[in-house]
Structure 1
Amino acid sequence: MKVLVHINDAERWQEALATRLPEAEIFTSAAPADKRREADYLAAWKPPATLLREPVALKGIVNLGAGVDALLNNPGLPANVPIVKLRDAGMAQPIGDYVRYGLLHFQRDFDRYRRQQHARQWREHAPLDKADWPVGVLGLGAIGARVAAMIAADGFPVHGWSRSPKTLPGIHCHHGDAGLEALLGRVKSLVLLLPDTPATRHIIDAEALARLPEGASLINPGRGTLIDEAALLAALGNSAAEGRLRGALLDAFPEEPLPAASPLWSHPRVWVTPHMAGPTPLEAALDQVAEALRAFESGEPLDAVDPTAGY
């Protein structure tokens, strides 16, 4: 088996994969073009279209991340080549911690205390109990389900949403359009962990934001395309007056890095982080990649990406 690796720090991935797959020949995209064309499998994160077109008999692709939108939208993606992706690989824990931080930020009024500090105001706010702070989690895949469980274990009532029905212990599960409408109307914080698909782009638009209770907050460690930015800014209001939405903690954006001219940078009720919520733990990811490549080679059933669904 010949495996072509393309990712930042590809040499480290190459070396670590070689210890797990001693029977394989593993090389990076820095190899000569003749060698790249021989690849049976591609393990990559956001490969260029030219690289995707090079292998002449590619049997499978391992996407080295949970989001596959960049790969599926790549014009060089070969047709009918099965794709598998990382389906957690340790990312759920740091994403859950990011969400927990965001929830406490708003539930314990740290956003308001920060503004009071700048104004030299000494004023205490009576906090709501966690039990009175319902949280909505949109997306109940491998990561979303784990994050929802972590939040519930902290004492927050959790409402989860997915396209199709799901049952998760301790989570109030909703599905479909009616379920989304019901969820939006009852949560104080909304967490976005959906994939980027045609059905989810701008799922948080002006209509969705208007359904949230006054003073709700938004936390997005998922995909930047889930939010209509103009609608978000309108819901947030301006520096002089708080809008319908209390604040937003945003880690993902349609264009990354976030352009310097974006009004999100300077908005007083927006917190921007540089797509750092869920770093991929290398060792756990490598184990999953090796397992997927062996399954490809042996013909075992795969939990493959559905290009039509987008995940």
Structure 2
Amino acid sequence: MALIYLINSWPVEEWTTAMRRQAPDLDIRTWPDAGRLEDITYAMAWLPPANVLKSLPNLKLIFSLGAGVDAILKDPTLPDDVPLARIAEPDLTMRMSEYVVLQVLLHHRQQRRHDENQRHRRWEPFPERSASAVSVGVMGLGVLGTDAAQKLKLLGFKVAGWSRSRKSIPGIDCFAGPQEFDSFLERTDILVCLLPHTPETTGIINRDLIAKLSRKGPLGAPVIINAGRGKQQVEGDILAALDSGALHAASLDVFATEPLPESSPFWLHPKVTVTPHAAADSDPEMITAYVLRQIRRHQQGLSVENIVDRKRGY
């Protein structure tokens, strides 16, 4: 029995070192130095090369090392008969909530305006409203979205959430399905996207969505925060809305092309906060501990948690 790491965009040594320290009994391998392919029963993957997973005849379980699973599902050679598990680790969840709260507060408390005044040595107090005057809407009420919504509620914001299927979260106004989407948008001053990337969510943040957001909030125009996936946003529509005033501001952690090209207008746009897909960075030690618990469950014949429904994409 062996475990292989299929990672082409992160330093694999950090991950293998963490696993060897926590599970010295496991046979740890990395691609392409895989040894006998017949030995491999577990795969830890992020953007795996095509045909590799399919080439492992005794593979029993695949773990996606990121918060989402789209980087695995887009592999056209992904074997149909091997379960794919996603990561639902409390540290990752907390990191995402930290990012969401940080960005909501940045816009709510108008921190960019304070920063601009500081650069110009300008002492300019200005009115700021309470959190209870702001309606935040969270798209996606999985583990990450639910926790972020609850943290925002604790700060006093009026919080609602929208998801594909009906959810019930104490203190959160929950909307569900396409029939309730417009009502959710109409009451939202600050929109947070934590949706998984699926064919249905591709391009969901577009000019039509922006036009349906609330203009009744303290900032006079809505704000978009996207920490989901870059393919969910139509970047030209966001830029046009920022320039026209249809959007007050945007915080973007994900982009259609990553790394974000130096030529992108997002870098220097005065209404945009750019972060490098770092909202919920995967910590090797914490994620390894989570995956190892799942491997031990599998070895004991117990069910593995958070198996992905491939038809739904999450």
Q: What is the TM-score when the length of structure 1 is the normalising length?
A: 0.91
Q: Report deviation, 1:74.
A: 1.2
Question: 1:206-226: CA deviations, max 9, x gaps?
Answer: 111001123111111221111
> How many Å separate the matches in 1 of 2:214 and 2:122?
27
Moved more, 48-57 or 161-170: 48-57
Match of 2:3 in 1: 3
Match of 1:243 in 2: 245
> How many Å separate the matches in 2 of 1:75 and 1:275?
24
> How many Å separate the matches in 2 of 1:35 and 1:4?
11
Match of 2:95 in 1: 94
> How many Å separate the matches in 2 of 1:260 and 1:11?
29
Check if 1:35 corresponds to 2:19.
no
Trace 1:1-311 onto structure 2 (pairs within 5 A): 1-7=1-7, 8-32=10-34, 34-116=35-117, 122-214=123-215, 215-237=221-243, 243-302=245-304, 303-311=306-314
Moved more, 297-306 or 108-117: 108-117
When residues 122 and 305 of structure 1 are mapped into structure 2, their CA distance, relative to the original with a 3 A threshold, is same
Q: Report deviation, 1:169.
A: 1.4
The 8 Å contact of residues 67 and 280 in structure 2, kept in 1 or not, is answered as no
> How many Å separate the matches in 2 of 1:67 and 1:94?
14
Q: Report deviation, 1:179.
A: 2.2
Please, which runs of 5 or more residues in structure 2 have no aligned partner? 216-220
The 8 Å contact of residues 14 and 284 in structure 2, kept in 1 or not, is answered as no
Moved more, 146-155 or 292-301: 292-301
Aligned alpha-carbon RMSD (Å): 2.0
When residues 181 and 10 of structure 1 are mapped into structure 2, their CA distance, relative to the original with a 3 A threshold, is same
Match of 2:218 in 1: none
SS in 1 for 2:150: helix
Equivalent residue letter for 1:228 = V
Aligned residues: 306
Moved more, 292-301 or 115-124: 115-124
Q: Report deviation, 1:115.
A: 4.4
When residues 123 and 139 of structure 1 are mapped into structure 2, their CA distance, relative to the original with a 3 A threshold, is same
SS in 2 for 1:182: helix
Equivalent residue letter for 2:171 = G
The 8 Å contact of residues 11 and 28 in structure 1, kept in 2 or not, is answered as no
The 8 Å contact of residues 84 and 292 in structure 1, kept in 2 or not, is answered as no
Q: Report deviation, 1:89.
A: 4.2
> How many Å separate the matches in 2 of 1:71 and 1:208?
28
The 8 Å contact of residues 89 and 285 in structure 1, kept in 2 or not, is answered as no
Moved more, 286-295 or 119-128: 119-128
Moved more, 285-294 or 189-198: 285-294
Equivalent residue letter for 2:264 = S
The 8 Å contact of residues 89 and 280 in structure 1, kept in 2 or not, is answered as no
> How many Å separate the matches in 1 of 2:210 and 2:57?
47
Q: Report deviation, 1:6.
A: 2.7
Moved more, 195-204 or 295-304: 295-304
Q: What is the TM-score when the length of structure 2 is the normalising length?
A: 0.90
Moved more, 8-17 or 40-49: 8-17
Question: 1:186-221: CA deviations, max 9, x gaps?
Answer: 121111100000011111111110011231111112
Q: Percent identity?
A: 37
